[in-house]
Copies of this chain bind each other. A is one copy, B any other.
Amino acid sequence: MNDQSPNAKKRVTVVDVARRAGVSPGTVSNAISGKRKVDQETRRRIDAAIADLGYMPNLAARGMRTGRANTIAVFSSMPTAVAAGASKLGFLMEVAASAAEAALQHNMALVLIPPIEDPAAVFQATPLDGAILLEPASNDPVLSLLRARAVPTVVVGDTGDAGIPCIRLDYRAMGDLLIDHLLDAGARSILLVAGSRARRSNETFAEVYRARMARAGLPVRILEVSEINAEAGAEAAIAAEIVGAVPFDGVLVPIDAMATGVMAALRAAGLTVPGDVRVVTRYDGLRARSESPPLTALDLHLDAVAKAATAELLSLIEGSSPVSSSLVPAPYLRRRGSSTVGD
């Protein structure tokens, strides 16, 4: 419905251009795509004809013939509750924005797939050349879906599976950075509030946390919270912990939605932050920044991550290069009021 008005003349096609330039449609196609050589002079005439007639290629027709859609998608795998609400603008959107820009530079469009119940529905709507998948869980249904349909996919995060192209997020470094900081800030009894779903980030954070606590001779206290209804779950868990006999003075809560819940529970109990308890989270998004005090968090350089993922995906689609294990900048600690008094 892109072009014709009710009383419309027919769409301008490659045939019209060919006629006007005095060549065959095939030659026009070659001139446009540059796939074969066409004579200087001929090309000039074709360009003129295109300009005169205002020709615009029909992308659907091209796509049908070439099998390419010029489209990639960004999927979020997180359950709705985590990604939605006030921070619908989270991780997904930040990555999507940069990826869209990068994609457009290669004449590709980026379609946005927010968390939905039935990801398969996407294939009813739009053809895809490839997909970027954010932080899939262990047996992520979206990942299965993409593999089943043989859609070239780049994962952002970390999969156990080495067979899947991946822009690696260094969860270990993140954990170290945040725990170091909590210790520096004087915390000596540190809680980890972790998502219960099998997901690489959850596992690695727990691992690092255990190791660091062991090394420092501090107790390990992990609260597992379901990622569905993350905020309320975390709030309840912390509330219960406060009632318990053993006090704590630091909380590492990687998932920002849970951090909101943690802060609410602390406030409700009359505990001060960072006085009584220091709190740190992972993703420096809307939630982290709009807490009071704002939460210490990590700059994950998501724009660089997104660009790397896009580049990787495009080369994967072209089929050419095997895979460059692109390096992205290390996470950087953003100190904020939730864990520091000075600055």
The chain A residues found within 8 Å of chain B, CB to CB, are: 1-5, 56, 58-61, 63-64, 67-71, 73, 88-89, 92-94, 96-98, 100-101, 104, 107-114, 116, 121-129, 149-152, 285-286, 289-290, 292, 294, 303, 317
Contacts and interface: CB of A to CB of B under 8 A. Distances in A.
A321 to B, nearest CB: 16
B150 A2 contact: yes
A97 B71 contact: no
Contacts of A127: 2, 58-60
A291 B207 CA distance: 34
Contact of A100 (B108, B109, B114): B114
Contacts of A59: 69, 125-127
Contacts of A101: 114, 116
B100 A124 contact: no
A333 B113 CA distance: 31
9 contacts: A1-B68, A2-B150, A3-B149, A59-B127, A71-B126, A89-B286, A93-B93, A290-B294, A292-B294
A128 B109 CA distance: 11
A59 to B, nearest CB: 5
Contacts of A4: 150
How many copies of this chain are found per oligomer? 2
Contacts of A64: 58, 60-61, 63-64
Contacts of A97: 88-89, 92-93, 112, 114
A109 B122 contact: yes
Nearest to A57: B124
Contacts of A108: 125
Given A58-B64, A63-B64, A112-B112, 13 more contacts: A3-B150, A56-B123, A59-B126, A60-B127, A61-B64, A70-B125, A71-B111, A88-B303, A89-B93, A89-B97, A92-B97, A93-B97, A109-B111
A5 B94 CA distance: 33
Contacts of A96: 93, 96, 112
